Structure 1
Amino acid sequence: MAEEAADTRSYLVVLNDEEQYSIWLADRELPLGWRAEGVRGSREECLAHIGTVWTDMRPLSLRNRMDSARSGTRAAV
């Protein structure tokens, strides 16, 4: 089996309005609904960063609803 070539491309860590993370090739236009989070690097560097900062996988809207249910208030949608 041939060894895969090293990925030398640059990636961005991106974030959407629900505070969900992903990576995106740095030389491509970001998809609608996503913004650059501030970290740029190799695929491995970006994924390592996401592994450190994305500690709660629940979407923001779900976290807000759950927090509101606990406190007895209504969450803004």
Structure 2
Amino acid sequence: MNNEAPTNPFDNENLPFFVLINEQQQYSLWPQITAIPAGWAVVHGPQSRADCVKYLEVNWTDMRPASLIRAELGLR
């Protein structure tokens, strides 16, 4: 059995994570050691990966981008 940490930081449950959001109200789980990309903002963390996943489960209830929701509602 291999007990080494994953080489991909997105898969490493031992790292602290952020939850990010963009202007389309889409979320992303992001390791703290990785630079936050342009157009995204931190809304939660740094916390454990498991805590961030729980945050996403509670807060990201509609996967549609904000622009699609507005279009479906007849808004601009």
TM over 0.5: yes
**CA-CA distance at 1:23 after TM superposition:** 1.3
Q: Which runs of 4+ in 1 moved over 2 A?
A: 1-8
Unpaired segments of 5 or more residues in structure 1?
69-74
TM-score when normalising by structure 1 = 0.77
TM-score when normalising by structure 2 = 0.77
**Could you tell me which amino acid in structure 1 is paired with residue 68 of structure 2?**
L
Counterpart of 1:42 (choices 35, 48, 53) is 48
Output one character per residue of 1:34-68: Cα deviation in whole Å (capped at 9) or x when no partner: 11113320111101110111111110000000011
Name 1:2's counterpart in structure 2.
2
Aligned length in residues: 70
Identical-pair percentage: 33
Larger Rg: 1
**CA-CA distance at 1:3 after TM superposition:** 4.1
Unpaired segments of 5 or more residues in structure 2?
6-11
